[in-house]
Structure 1
Amino acid sequence: MALPGLTQRALKRITPQEIVDILPQENVNLATYIFDVLPTDIQQPTVSRVNINDQSLILDYHLRGKSRLAKLNALTISYLRRDTSYTNKARHLFHRIWREQGHLLVNELTTRWLISTLQTFLDHGENEAQRVIGASGYFYANLMKIYEGERSIEGRNQDTTYEDVSPQTPNKFPGLDRYNVGGTDLLLNTNALALDLAMRDDVAGLVLFELLLRVKATPNVFTRMDKTRKEKGISVPSFADTWSFFEPL
């Protein structure tokens, strides 16, 4: 078996668990949740995530000042990360939230919860398009998180552009090609494909679309590449228009 250790981890990703049902009824009026806000002065509880009641308290803390709809979204996700007797109910509520109130909720959520929502569409999408959107958005965001985290460990600011514009070290991963600043369409094509996928389902696509908007608006590998091109006046034949979001700075 290839990757035996990782295989064991993968097989235990969603484990059976006996928990109580603290979810609202499946036909709950979700419109009342969007304007009902959690208190801002909630203290961090000293409990673990194993018990769903304790998990609910942890969510209250992390989502303090947010709407109870944001909390309910997180709670349904918490249920769906477990294999329980209430999976179908949690799935039903999760999809109702995004069908009925997603346009109001998406801007409220932090990027962390956008990623968790995308992962839930990956695992529990109602159709192939939703599952593909969830998968692509989950990996897109988390690989960015991994790379930006490594950059921080190395002491580099997210908004600092590049001094050099070509690879400075040997490639030790055969086939994983290097590129020069302004001399590739890799970043543009990655974003274009992500947007293409997002447009295949209005419900799940809304979440990936919001993620792409945040990528466009914040310091990260995509915007750093474009800023470096602009600062250094780089224009490579055949790649002159390959800005990360097909819009020159």
Structure 2
Amino acid sequence: MTAPSGWQRKLVSLFKSEKTLNAGKVVKTFNDKSTDEMKASIITITMCDSMALSPKPRTKDLEGHLNNLKHQFIGQSELCFYHATIIVLLRRNYKPEETFAEFERLWITETDYLLNNLSLRWVISACDTFIDHTTDTTRAAILMNVTTLINTLKVYETEQFLQQNPNSEPLPLVADKVDALYRSDLPLYEGLTYFRIGTDDTLKHMRSRYENFYDADKLAATMLLFVFDKLQTNNSAFSTLRALHRDDKSKWWIDIL
């Protein structure tokens, strides 16, 4: 492989510096505030750059990127935006050891707050960030289940979307197919079968295996089960099968009263 020329090295260096330019200033704006202060501070339109209130293409400029991102957190606490900022800094490789230590501290001390206030998108981003930066292979392995779970679901839902007619509502369940899946195991491929709706216990066992991770890593297991439970209440393939389930002994979701 040909070594990069002098101007190519300068271009790469310029690109890298632009991605983290003023990162120290960004970090300082948060360092001057406590966690409780950031929880109490709600982001409003007036706190955002008016030029960034409409969707913009991604930019290498760090401050520009964060300004574009901030408007997505209007109505949320500054702590939620701070969490997103840390992830951006890590993805741009800004002081990775120091920045990840702060990211990890935030999740250890504010687990419940983050899970209850972040969108699922940012919970998944947090899992990916742990996987990319943690030296704890057990934690990374547990959280890889989250990424696999979500990506598999997104692929499935995308295929379903592509198979629908443009501008049409999702097709209703076909009664005879529902009945067939109630009656017996129908072959899929490579020895697999479709989900046996009504009585299938595979998801129950999957959730039980997730729960077993608590002993290995409570934080990672909590994040994994939070995401799994979220999928049971949103309009997903999981919630469709849940609505058709009949057997209480094999149900895989937790009813929160």
What fraction of aligned residue pairs are identical, expressed as a percent?
A: 18
1:53 to partner: Cα distance: 1.4
- Residues of 2 paired with 1:131 and 1:26: CA distance? 28
Task: Indicate the residue corresponding to 1:245 in structure 2.
Answer: 253
The equivalences for 1:70-219 within 5 A come to 70-82=80-92, 84-125=93-134, 127-155=136-164, 163=175, 164-165=177-178, 166=180, 171=188, 173-182=189-198, 184-197=200-213, 200-219=216-235
Q: CA RMSD in A?
A: 3.2
* 2:199 and 2:245 in contact (8 A); partners too: no
1:114 to partner: Cα distance: 1.1
1:23 aligns with 2:35: no
Q: Residues 170 and 161 of structure 1: is their aligned pair in 2 closer, same or farther, counting only changes over 3 Å?
A: same
| TM-score normalized by the length of structure 2 | 0.72
| Larger relative contact order (Cα-Cα within 8 Å, sequence gap ≥ 6) | 1
Q: How many residues align?
A: 222
Q: Residues 146 and 139 of structure 1: is their aligned pair in 2 closer, same or farther, counting only changes over 3 Å?
A: same
Q: Larger radius of gyration, structure 1 or 2?
A: 2
Which ranges in structure 2 are unaligned for 5 or more consecutive residues?
A: 1-14
Residue deviations 1:76-117 (CA, integer Å, cap 9, x gap): 1112223x3421222022112112222212211111111111
1:198 to partner: Cα distance: 5.2
1:118 to partner: Cα distance: 1.2
Please state which structure has a larger fraction of its residues in helix.
Answer: 2
Q: Residues 180 and 212 of structure 1: is their aligned pair in 2 closer, same or farther, counting only changes over 3 Å?
A: closer
* 1:38 and 1:68 in contact (8 A); partners too: yes
1:134 to partner: Cα distance: 1.9
- Residues of 2 paired with 1:157 and 1:116: CA distance? 30
Which stretch shows the higher mean deviation, 84-93 or 22-31? 22-31
- Residues of 2 paired with 1:88 and 1:127: CA distance? 14
- Residues of 1 paired with 2:254 and 2:57: CA distance? 47
- Residues of 2 paired with 1:158 and 1:241: CA distance? 30
- Residues of 2 paired with 1:216 and 1:158: CA distance? 18
* 2:232 and 2:242 in contact (8 A); partners too: no
| TM-score normalized by the length of structure 1 | 0.74
* 2:210 and 2:221 in contact (8 A); partners too: no
* 1:31 and 1:101 in contact (8 A); partners too: no
